[in-house]
Amino acid sequence: MEDWKKVLAQSITKPNDLAKQLGVDEKEVEDIVGPYPMRITPTVLATIKEKGDAIWKQVVPERIELDDIDAPDDPLEEDTDSPVPHLVHRYPDRVLLMVTNQCPIYCRFCTRKRLVGKPGFLKKGELDQAVAYLREHSEVRDVILSGGDPLLLPDYLIERILKALRSIPHLELIRFGTRVPGTLPQRITPELCEIVKQYHPIYMNLHFNHPDELTPEVKEACGHLADAGIPLGAQTVLLKGVNDDPEIMKRLMHELLLARVKPYYLYMADLTKGTNHFRTSVETGLKIMQALQGHTSGMAVPHFVIDAPGGGGKIPLLPGEYLLNLDEKGAVLKNYENKTYFYPQPSTTDNRELPMVGTSVSRDMCSAGAMDDYS
């Protein structure tokens, strides 16, 4: 057996093992892992410092998950947007393909809590069906391998999938969405890197939520992927009690860059059943973005998005105050230090029809002293 499979097999999946390791109530955990499976890899277990800390909260089942009975199972309506099983085609030119429902850890806040970790996900022929759909749909130029976690598949299956996708001429990009490098770094083997780099351009977006996740061995695993020529992005979910704090978030973004990972998305948590105790206010997210933008490397600033309930897709949010006014004369702007600046429009009249809703301020403010800093 490959080394990483042995490590994965040492993960905590049973309530009595969790009780032994972390001293939680076995009975309580038993009720939860029926509907919502648990897995905690050795790497993640070693990162837990104390009861209820940021790593603990992400992986240790809590009774409150079962109290969340009124929430939807599939708030993003992914199932509605699936023309064939496990393929979500929501945007014009790209699709999300769930190639497995197994993950190295089962995040308690997972947006696909309805699916992950349960038996009997991918049925025979379904992957061929998805590939056939992609072959017929020449508008699709970007496919995201997701799940579950695609890097939990064995090497030969990853290779088979990449080969099948690369036989479709109009497919330009292949991306992986994965939490493996941060939770099961042993999986990032030289053999895996060797396979993946045959199918460039391949991108990976790695899931990280807290700076403590970036241990030396995790950073090394990220380095192997980067050395294989794979541009690495990070996806982070804003989670109450985990990272809903500007200082923690800034540390996370810095650690990611040190691991050669570029922050890509910061998500508001979804409304998924069993996860609502992790949600924070939108204002918390905006404050975090405000604390990053301009205050640290632009490379460290992710896009802050809400994946709209009902299948609207990702919608970007900016703290509203940067554009104070826009008219035919120019843009009144506020910078990260709350100073106001003016950017004059060019004298030509092209492209003046962009509607800017909700950014108007009174003309008085624009003409009377609000632009002291512009010269």
Ligand X SMILES: *Cc1c(COP(=O)(O)O)cnc(C)c1O
What is the contact surface with ligand X in residues (CB under 6 A)?
A: 88, 90-91, 94, 96, 144, 314
Q: Which residue is catalytic, options 39, 57, 94, 114?
A: 94
Query: Which member of 36, 106, 133, 264 binds ligand SF4 (CB under 6 A)?
Result: 106
Q: Least distance to ligand SF4 from the beta carbon of 102, Å?
A: 8
Buried-exposed string 196-226: b where 16+ CB fall within 10 A, e elsewhere: beeeeebbbbbbbbbbbbbbeebbebbbbbb
Answer for the pair 206, 222: CB distance below 8 angstroms, yes or no.
Answer: yes
Integer CA distances (angstroms), 71 to 68, 84, 252, in order: 6, 25, 30
Q: Which does 91 bind (CB under 5 to 8 A by kind): ligand X, ligand SF4, none?
A: ligand X
Question: Among 99-107, 127-135, 163-171, 186-194, which window interacts with ligand SF4 (CB under 6 A)?
Answer: 99-107
Q: What is the DSSP letter of 57?
A: H
Query: Which member of 57, 112, 175, 187 binds ligand SF4 (CB under 6 A)?
Result: 112
Q: Least distance to ligand SF4 from the beta carbon of 247, Å?
A: 24
3-class SS letters over 246-278:
HHHHHHHHHHHHHCCCEEEEEECCCCCCCCHHH
Burial of 175 from C-beta contacts in 10 A (0-12 / 13-18 / 19+): buried
Q: Is 98 in the site for ligand SF4 (CB under 6 A)?
A: no
Q: Where are the beta strands (DSSP E) in the chain?
A: 87-88, 94-98, 142-146, 173-178, 202-207, 232-237, 262-267, 303-308, 313-316, 323-326, 330-334, 340-344
Q: Which does 94 bind (CB under 5 to 8 A by kind): ligand X, ligand SF4, none?
A: ligand X
Active site includes 110? yes
Q: Which does 144 bind (CB under 5 to 8 A by kind): ligand X, ligand SF4, none?
A: ligand X
| Angle at CA of residue 264, ends 194 and 76, nearest 5° | 105
Q: Is 270 in the site for ligand SF4 (CB under 6 A)?
A: no
Q: Is 264 in the site for ligand SF4 (CB under 6 A)?
A: no
* Interface pattern 146-165 for ligand SF4 (x via CB under 6 A): -xxx----------------
Residue entry with tokens 């826009």: 326
Q: Which does 110 bind (CB under 5 to 8 A by kind): ligand X, ligand SF4, none?
A: ligand SF4
Active site includes 94? yes
Question: Which is closer to ligand SF4, CB of 147 or CB of 274?
Answer: 147
Q: Least distance to ligand SF4 from the beta carbon of 335, Å?
A: 35
Active site includes 307? yes
Cis link prior to 92 (omega < 30° from 0)?
no
Number of CB atoms found within 10 A of residue 297's CB: 11
* Interface pattern 46-85 for ligand SF4 (x via CB under 6 A): ----------------------------------------
Task: Give the H/E segment covering residue 134.
Answer: helix 126-136
Q: Is 332 in the site for ligand SF4 (CB under 6 A)?
A: no
Q: Least distance to ligand X from the beta carbon of 143, Å?
A: 9
Active site includes 270? yes
Amino acid letter at 268? Answer: M
Answer for the pair 32, 61: CB distance below 8 angstroms, yes or no.
Answer: yes
Residues between 199 and 218 that touch ligand SF4 (CB under 6 A): 207
Instruction: Write out the residues near ligand SF4 by the rule CB under 6 A.
Output: 103, 106-107, 110, 112, 116, 147-149, 179, 207
Q: Catalytic site residues?
A: 90-91, 94, 103, 107, 110, 112, 270, 307, 314
